[in-house]
Amino acid sequence: MGGVTSTVAARFAFFPPTPPSYAVIRDQITGRLVLSDVLNRDHVDVVSMKTKRGQDIVGIYVHHSAARLTLLYSHGNAADLGQMYELLVELSVHLRVNVMGYDYSGYGASSGKPSEANTYADVEAAYQCLERDYGVRQEDVVLYGQSVGSGPTVDLAARLPKVRGVVLHSPILSGLRVMYPVKRTYWFDIYKNIEKIRRVNCPVLVIHGTSDEVVDCSHGKQLWDLCKEKYEPLWLKGGGHCNLELYPEYIRHLRKFIMSLEKSGGPRNGGGIERTRSY
């Protein structure tokens, strides 16, 4: 029974678009890496990153000249960077932040196969790229996780003691809880946000639609209740799972959160990533 349930949970979690919505190509004029089938911008870098599990994952880094913070965005289930490109550019413009987005192993043009362990290594590789290649300090990073992306986001936030803030967009309590109303956490469950959120020490904004047909709004509300440092949540009345960006309140509230982080300092103690897991 446990093995069957674990397989069902894993299948729920990973639905990479097939075929991918883009390929990585080299521009013959500039020599830069770009994504096919999107309107590439000069201020957007396409990067390739090696994870500690040996995968080569694709990311994009959106520069904003006035940015004080950098958003590290972990996207939802059935999406890849080709589909997310315009949204990430728009978030950079409206929030006045740099944005790093990346594709999980097995998504888009990233190598390998999607798995819970791979996504943890993927988000860590993206974060380390920010530090190494763009000089971004941990205290200037805001982690953003949408749906399944809340898993790698919460995991990394629990191990980054100085990260500035976290946004959880239609988050899950855990993979198994999306499908079954279980009251306890089983060993074979995936993305145990319900347990890890207690180790996140920075301000957390939760955004969830009240009519979410995939992940019930109760997931977001319970995670918010468990946060140490709660920021005013946004419960979008009538909002579903994939349309929250269409609500004017979404960008207004997100901008308000970013501005509050810009005015504040980061969490008070700690250093680099806590090495609590072998991937």
Known catalytic residues? 147, 212, 241
Task: Classify strands 70-74 and 56-62 as parallel, antiparallel or unpaired.
Answer: unpaired
CA 84 from chain centre, in angstroms, equals 12
Residue 273, classified by CB atoms within 10 Å of its CB into exposed (0-12), middle (13-18) or buried (19+), is middle
Phi then psi for residue 169, to 5 deg, are: -110, 110
With tokens 């996207």, the residue in question is: 75
Q: Which two tokens stand for residue 199?
A: 């180790």
How many C-beta atoms lie closer than 10 Å to residue 133's C-beta?
Answer: 12
Determine which helix (DSSP H) or strand (DSSP E) holds 124, and give its type and residue range. Answer: helix 116-134
3-state secondary structure of 244: helix
| CA quadruple 15, 19, 24, 27: dihedral sign | negative
Closest Cα to residue 257, out of 193, 197, 168? 168
Closest Cα to residue 210, out of 178, 235, 243, 242? 235
Helix axes 150-157, 116-134, angle to 10 degrees: 60
Indicate the residue type of 116: E
Q: What is the DSSP letter of 100?
A: E
- Measured CA to CA, the distance from residue 169 to residue 149 in angstroms comes to 9
- Measured CA to CA, the distance from residue 277 to residue 14 in angstroms comes to 22
